[in-house]
A and B are shown apart, each in its own frame.
Chain A
Amino acid sequence: MQARYRFILAILVLGALVTGPFLATSTLVWMEMTPDQRTQLKELIVPHLPMGTLLTALGFGLGLAVVRTLFRQYVQGLLRMAEHLRLMLGANRNFRVTAEDGPPEVQLVARAINDLAQQRDELMADVEAQIARAKASVEEEKNRLAALMSELAQAVVVCNLDGRILLYNNRARLEFHTLAQGPTSVASGALIGLGRSIFSIIDRSRLAHAEETIRQRLERGLPANVAHFITTTASGQFLRVQMVPVLAPGEAEAGPRPMTGYVLTVENITRSLEQENARNQALLELTQGNRAAIGNIRAAVETLQDYPDMDMQERERFIQVVAEEVGRMSRQLEGTAQRFADATKTRWPLEDVSAEDLIKAAQRRIDELFKLSSKIEGIEDNLWVRADSFSLIFAITFLAGRLADHYEIRELRFRGLSEGKLAYLDLIWSGHAMSSETFYSWEQENMQVGRESAPVSLREVLDRHGGEIWYQREKAAHRAYFRFVLPLAQAVQEVPELPAGAQQGRPEYYDFDLFNFQDTGVDLDRNLMEMAYTVFDTETTGLEPANGDEIIQIGAVRIVNGRLLRQESFDQLVDPQRPLRPEGIPIHGITEEMLRGKPSIDVVLPAFHAFCSETVLVAHNAAFDMRFLQLKEERTGLKFSQPVLDTLLLSAVIHPNQESHKLDVIAERLGVPIIGRHNALGDAYATGEVFLKMIPLLAEKGIHTLRQALEASQKTYFARVKY
C-alpha cells in the first residue's frame, strides 16, 4: 500500500477514535431512556452541543497534527533515506544520508548507515589501490619487455595466429622500412604496424608451413619447437626467419598447450648471401677453371717426358700447348683475384667501428695499464674501419706496452687518416729508432698485455682484418710510428631518427591485447573500442577541390585497440603541381620551397592507401578531406571504400545542444591539448585523441558499434551539409 493511502487510513481511524466512543455511549443511553427523560436530556444537552463539537474537532485536529508529524518523520523520512541510499550505492559513492531534523531513532539509523558506508568506501578504496598497483606492475613488466625488445639488435616481430602483428621492435621497423619499395617507401614504415598483417612482408604459405611444423613437433612432444626458413621478399631480398611459438599460459589438461601466436626473428641475409655466392664463385673459378688447363699441361708434359723419341716438330707443338695453357691460367687467376678480392678476404666477424672510438678505448687501456699518457694528433672526420675491435685494441695496447718497456717512451700519439679504400691508424712516439728484427719478433709472438695474454700474434690479428702493419720513421721530426692499415668501413648506415614527439612516452611497439583480436577486415558490428582506425588530416591549397585545389600534405596516425600509435604515423608533403594560394600560406605554414622535389599525389596516394588498408578512416569534417581523395579516384584507380567516421558529426551526436563543433572547441571541451594545429599530422593526432575520448561518451548514448555510430552520424543536422 502506498504511503499516501496509509496516511488517509490513519486519519480515518483517528476520526473514528475521537468521535466513536462518545457517539456509541450516547446512542446506548438514548435507547434506554423514556420519552420524558429524552426530552429532559435534549433540553439539557442541546445548548452545550456547539462547545462539545468544538472540543471534539479540536481533539481531532490535535490528533491529526501528531499523526502527520509522526508520518513525516518516520515514513517519509525513511523513504527519502532509501533514495539517498540508492544514490550512495550507485551514482555517487560520496553521498551521505542526513537526518538532523528527524527523530533520534532515525538519526541513529542514519549514523549507523553512514558508518557502514564509510567502512565500505575504505574497503573499496583499498581494493582499487591494490588493483591499480597490480595493473601498474603488469604495465611496467610489459614496458620493460618492450624496452628490452626495442634494444635488441635483431628484428623481432610477435604475431597472433592470424598473422596480426602484436609487437615489433625498432630493429624490425628499420629492417622492414628498408625493404619497403615503391609506394610504401614514401611514408615511414607503412608495412609494419600493430594489428597489421605480417603476410604483407613474409610469404603467407611459408609462415603457415613453419607453423604447421611447430604444431606437429608440439603434438609429438619434441623439445626444440623452432622452425627456420629462408624466404624472399617482393623486392628480392633474402630473409632468414626463425619462428618460435607462443603457447597459451597455464597447464593444459590433455596434450600440449595450444599455440596462440609466434615470435619471429628476422634477419636480412641478402648481403651475406651475396658474399657467400661470390666466394663460392671465386672458389669454383679457381678450381674448376684451372682443372682443364692444368690437365692439358700435365698431359702434354708427361707425354714429353715419356716419349723423348718424338721429333722436333711434335715436341714444338707440345711445348706450345704448355706455354699457351700457362698463359691462359695466369690471366684467369689474375681476373679471379681481382673480381673476388673482397670475397676471398678473411671471414673473421668484423664490425664497423669508428676509428675515434677505437683509439679512445685503446688510450684508456694504455693509461690504466702502463700509466703512459697519450694524445690524439688528429683523426679524419667520420673515419670508420672494419675491425674486430677487441683484438685490435689488444694489439694496439700490446705495442704500446712493448714500446714503454723497451724504449721508456714518455708519450704516445695517435693519428687516423684514410687513403682510397684503406684507413691508416698511426701509433707515434718520438726518439728511439728500432730495428726491423725486433719489430719482426713482436709481430710473430703471442701477444701479452699486463697479465692478460692472447693466443694470437699481432700478425694473425692483422691477417684476420685483411690488414697490414709497418714501422716507419719521420726523420725530420725525430720520431717514428707504427702504421696499422685496415679496410675502411663502407658507408656507415645511420639509424634514421624517429619522428619528433615519438621519443617521449612509452614505446608503442606492442599490443598484447591483439592476441585475442580475431578476424580481419572491417566488421561493422564490432565494438568501436576494438577496431583499427586511421585518423588523418590533409592540408590543401584551398577550399575548393572542384576548382582545382590540391592536397599539399597528408598526416595520419593509427589507432589500434583504443590506443593512438604515435610511432605508426604517415607524414608526407605533396607537390600540388600548381601554385599555392598566398592566403593559405599563413594558415598551414607550408611554402613553395618546402614542396619543391616532393612526390606528387600520384605517388603519395598509393602509399597512403596502403597505410589505411583494413582500417576505418577517421577525420574531422571528413567530407572535405574525402572529397579530395575521391576526386583522384579515377586518375589513380584507388578507391577509399572503407567506412569513414567524422569527429564533427560524432560531436554533434554527443552534444546536440552545443553551438560549435570545430576541432579546437571540441578538443577544449574534452580536455585534449592540440600541438601543431594546422599541420596535417598535428591535427590528425588531435583528432585521434578527441575520437578516443568520444568512444565512451557515445557508449553512454547507447552507441557501441561502428554501424550505430555511422547511423547516428547520418541523422545529425551537420550531415546534411554537402560539399
Chain B
Amino acid sequence: MTHKILIVDDEPNIVLSLEFLMKREGFQVAVAADGDAALEQVQAFAPDLVLLDVMMPKKSGYEVCEILRADPARSAMKIVMLTAKGRDTEVAKGLGLGADAYVTKPFSNKELVAQIKQLLAGG
C-alpha cells in the first residue's frame, strides 16, 4: 500500500522539491502552507507521516507537533520536523515535543527519503 505524506511548509520553493520528490518515491502527497491548514489536512487526509516546518505563520511547527501528539488516536503517525533552526537546543525541543526525527535545512534529498522510508517501515 502507498503511504501518505503531508508536507507542511509556507515556502513554495521547498514545497516544490519535496512534493516532486515524494511523488517520485511513490508516496501519496498532500500540502499545507500553515499550521492551521496542517491540522485540517491531518483530519481530512490522515497521513502516515508529516514533514513539518517549524517557522510558519499562524501556528508554529512546535505547536502543531504538540497538538498532534496530544491525540492518542494518532500515535502511530510519524512526524519529521524540517527546519532552518539548527541549534541543538531547538533540536532537543522538537524531539522533546514528540517528533520522530528532526532534519535541519539544508538537507540531502537522498538521506531525507531514506529516513522517511525507515520511519514508515517501523524503524
Interface residues of A, Cβ cutoff 8 Å to B = 287-288, 291-292, 294-300, 302-303, 306-307, 310, 314, 317-318, 321, 324-325
Residue of B nearest to A306 (CB): B109
**A321 x B106 contact (CB < 8 A):** no
Residue of A nearest to B103 (CB): A295
Residue of A nearest to B82 (CB): A295
Complex Cα–Cα for A321 and B21 (A): 15
**B109 x A295 contact (CB < 8 A):** no
B81 to chain A, nearest CB (A): 13
Quick check: is B16 within 8 A (CB to CB) of the other chain?
A: yes
**B13 x A321 contact (CB < 8 A):** yes
Q: Which of B11, B16, B105, B108 is in CB contact (< 8 Å) with A302?
A: B108
B116 to chain A, nearest CB (A): 14
Complex Cα–Cα for A324 and B13 (A): 9
Residues of B9-28 whose CB lies within 8 A of A: 11, 13-14, 16-18, 20-21, 24
Complex Cα–Cα for A306 and B112 (A): 14
Contact residues of A: prevailing secondary structure: helix
Residues of B within 8 A of A299 (CB): 14, 17-18, 21, 106-107, 109
**A297 x B106 contact (CB < 8 A):** yes
Q: What mask results when residues 1 to 41 of chain B are scored 1 for a CB within 8 Å of chain A, else 0?
A: 00000000001011011101100100000000000000000
Q: Which of A288, A296, A302 is in CB contact (< 8 Å) with B13?
A: A296
**A303 x B84 contact (CB < 8 A):** no
**A291 x B13 contact (CB < 8 A):** no
> Beyond the given A291-B104, A296-B11, could you list 19 further A-B residue pairs with CB under 8 A, ordered by the A residue number?
A291-B86, A291-B106, A292-B11, A295-B106, A296-B14, A298-B105, A299-B21, A299-B106, A299-B109, A300-B13, A300-B16, A300-B17, A302-B110, A303-B21, A303-B109, A306-B110, A307-B24, A310-B20, A321-B17
Complex Cα–Cα for A296 and B106 (A): 7
**B20 x A291 contact (CB < 8 A):** no
Residues of A within 8 A of B85 (CB): 288, 291
Residues of B within 8 A of A291 (CB): 84-86, 104-106
**Cβ-closest 4 pairs across A and B:** A295-B105, A299-B17, A291-B84, A295-B106
B98 to chain A, nearest CB (A): 23
Complex Cα–Cα for A325 and B18 (A): 16
**A307 x B106 contact (CB < 8 A):** no
Residue of A nearest to B17 (CB): A299
**B16 x A298 contact (CB < 8 A):** no
**A317 x B16 contact (CB < 8 A):** yes
**B109 x A318 contact (CB < 8 A):** no
**A292 x B24 contact (CB < 8 A):** no
Complex Cα–Cα for A97 and B66 (A): 105
Residue of A nearest to B14 (CB): A296
Residue of A nearest to B85 (CB): A288
**B84 x A318 contact (CB < 8 A):** no
A315 to chain B, nearest CB (A): 11
Complex A-B: 24 CB contacts under 8 Å: A291-B84, A291-B105, A291-B106, A292-B105, A295-B106, A295-B107, A296-B11, A296-B14, A297-B106, A298-B105, A298-B106, A298-B107, A298-B109, A302-B17, A302-B108, A302-B109, A303-B17, A303-B20, A306-B110, A307-B20, A307-B24, A318-B16, A318-B17, A324-B13
Q: What mask results when residues 81 to 122 of chain B are scored 1 for a CB within 8 Å of chain A, else 0?
A: 000111000000000000000001111111000000000000
Complex Cα–Cα for A297 and B110 (A): 15
Residue of B nearest to A284 (CB): B87
Complex Cα–Cα for A691 and B17 (A): 88
Residues of B within 8 A of A321 (CB): 13, 16-17
Q: Which of B14, B17, B86, B107 is in CB contact (< 8 Å) with A288?
A: B86
B100 to chain A, nearest CB (A): 19
Residues of B within 8 A of A317 (CB): 16
Residues of B within 8 A of A300 (CB): 13, 16-17
Residue of A nearest to B112 (CB): A299
Residues of A within 8 A of B21 (CB): 299, 303
Complex Cα–Cα for A220 and B108 (A): 56
B53 to chain A, nearest CB (A): 9
B64 to chain A, nearest CB (A): 18
B101 to chain A, nearest CB (A): 15
A349 to chain B, nearest CB (A): 28
Complex Cα–Cα for A437 and B85 (A): 47
Residues of B within 8 A of A303 (CB): 17, 20-21, 109
Residues of A within 8 A of B14 (CB): 292, 295-296, 299
**B108 x A298 contact (CB < 8 A):** yes
B50 to chain A, nearest CB (A): 17
Residue of A nearest to B86 (CB): A291
Residues of A within 8 A of B11 (CB): 292, 296
B75 to chain A, nearest CB (A): 29
Complex Cα–Cα for A297 and B24 (A): 18
**A325 x B13 contact (CB < 8 A):** yes
Residues of B within 8 A of A314 (CB): 20
Residue of A nearest to B104 (CB): A291
Residue of B nearest to A303 (CB): B17
Residues of A within 8 A of B86 (CB): 287-288, 291
B15 to chain A, nearest CB (A): 9
**A288 x B108 contact (CB < 8 A):** no
**B105 x A294 contact (CB < 8 A):** yes
B65 to chain A, nearest CB (A): 19
Q: Which of A288, A297, A302, A310 is in CB contact (< 8 Å) with B84?
A: A288
A297 to chain B, nearest CB (A): 7
Complex Cα–Cα for A303 and B17 (A): 7
Residue of B nearest to A322 (CB): B13
Q: What mask results when residues 55 to 88 of chain B are scored 1 for a CB within 8 Å of chain A, else 0?
A: 0000000000000000000000000000011100
Residue of A nearest to B109 (CB): A302
A314 to chain B, nearest CB (A): 7
Complex Cα–Cα for A302 and B24 (A): 13
Complex Cα–Cα for A648 and B86 (A): 76
Residue of B nearest to A291 (CB): B84
Complex Cα–Cα for A84 and B48 (A): 118
B106 to chain A, nearest CB (A): 4
Most chain B beta-carbon contacts within 10 A, residue among A292, A299, A318, A324 = A299
Residue of B nearest to A289 (CB): B84
Complex Cα–Cα for A438 and B114 (A): 57
Residues of A within 8 A of B18 (CB): 299
**A294 x B106 contact (CB < 8 A):** yes
Complex Cα–Cα for A287 and B106 (A): 11
A319 to chain B, nearest CB (A): 11
Residues of B within 8 A of A287 (CB): 86
Residues of A within 8 A of B16 (CB): 300, 317-318, 321
Residues of B within 8 A of A296 (CB): 11, 13-14, 17, 105
Most chain B beta-carbon contacts within 10 A, residue among A292, A302, A314 = A292
